[in-house]
């Protein structure tokens, strides 16, 4: 989802934010008392989140862990974000609309969200004790960036032809599967190369 960075002039409480989200027609993220409206997502964005969420769901069937897509919030201190995909293994029974315990968070990047996803969100997410992996996926070209806690949050990049290991959910997924049906130049070129003699 893209953030529009349109904020209210006054700060509001967490409780007021959470109550407002229950009735709002659009989603908002909440950063230290300030509310930011979110714009809609592109088809490629939805294709990537759908592919990842589906693969995570298939992998985690009959386990305590489950994937959530962009309608469930993650709480990080005094911030609430809507990750594109996340997996939660510890049930938050008291909180139906947000979690504080994801093991992996996936954000699909766009021009309007890249800066926030690569800086403020990245630093905030890494403070979550349960988080093992943070994944950034480009939608306009092929690049899957994985930052793992057990590697000191160092960025690892994966491209067409590579496989990505998501240790937190015990899944190896090809980059091609992540970008299935995505319409961008990198994907088109890769598919064309497979048909060459």
* Fold held by 42-194: tt1808, chain A (3.90.1570)
Taking the alpha carbons of 104, 162, 144, 150 in that order, is the dihedral positive or negative? Answer: positive
C-alpha 131/C-alpha 153 separation (Å) is 11
What are the residue boundaries of the structural domains of the chain, listed by start?
A: 42-194
Q: Hey, how many other C-beta atoms are within 10 angstroms of the C-beta on 186?
A: 17
Phi, psi of 106 (to 5 degrees): -120, 130
Q: Hey, how many other C-beta atoms are within 10 angstroms of the C-beta on 82?
A: 21
Q: What pLDDT score does 197 carry?
A: 63
C-alpha 63/C-alpha 74 separation (Å) is 21
Using left for φ > 0, alpha for ψ between -120 and 50, and beta otherwise, residue 11 falls in beta
- Placement of tokens 């386990």 in the chain: 63
Burial of 136 (0-12, 13-18, 19+ CB in 10 A): buried
Alpha-carbon distances of 35 from 90, 105, 154, 165, rounded to whole Å: 27, 21, 30, 35
pLDDT in tens, the chain (197 residues): 444 444 555 789 999 999 999 999 889 999 999 998 887 788 999 999 999 999 999 999 999 999 998 889 999 999 999 999 999 998 767 788 999 999 999 999 988 778 888 888 999 999 999 999 999 999 999 999 999 999 999 999 999 999 999 999 999 999 999 999 999 888 888 888 877 66
pTM (2 d.p.): 0.90
The secondary structure of residue 1, as a DSSP letter, is -
């Amino acid at each position: 989802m893209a953030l529009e960075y349109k904020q209210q002039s006054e700060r509001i409480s967490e409780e007021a934010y959470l109550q407002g989200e229950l009735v709002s027609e659009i989603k908002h993220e909440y950063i230290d008392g300030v509310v930011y409206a979110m714009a809609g997502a592109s088809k490629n964005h939805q294709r990537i989140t759908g592919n990842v969420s589906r693969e995570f769901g298939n992998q985690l069937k009959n386990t305590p862990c489950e994937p959530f897509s962009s309608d469930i919030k993650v709480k990080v201190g005094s911030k609430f974000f809507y990750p594109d995909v996340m997996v939660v293994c510890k049930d938050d029974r008291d909180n139906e609309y947000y979690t504080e315990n994801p093991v992996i968070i996936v954000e699909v990047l766009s021009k309007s969200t890249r800066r926030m996803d690569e800086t403020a969100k990245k630093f905030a997410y890494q403070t979550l004790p349960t988080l093992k992996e943070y994944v950034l996926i480009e939608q306009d070209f092929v690049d899957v960036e994985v930052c793992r806690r057990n590697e000191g949050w160092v960025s690892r990049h994966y491209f067409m032809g590579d496989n990505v290991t998501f240790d937190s959910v015990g899944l190896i997924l090809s980059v091609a599967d992540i970008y299935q049906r995505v319409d961008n130049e990198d994907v088109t070129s890769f598919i064309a190369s497979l048909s060459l003699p």
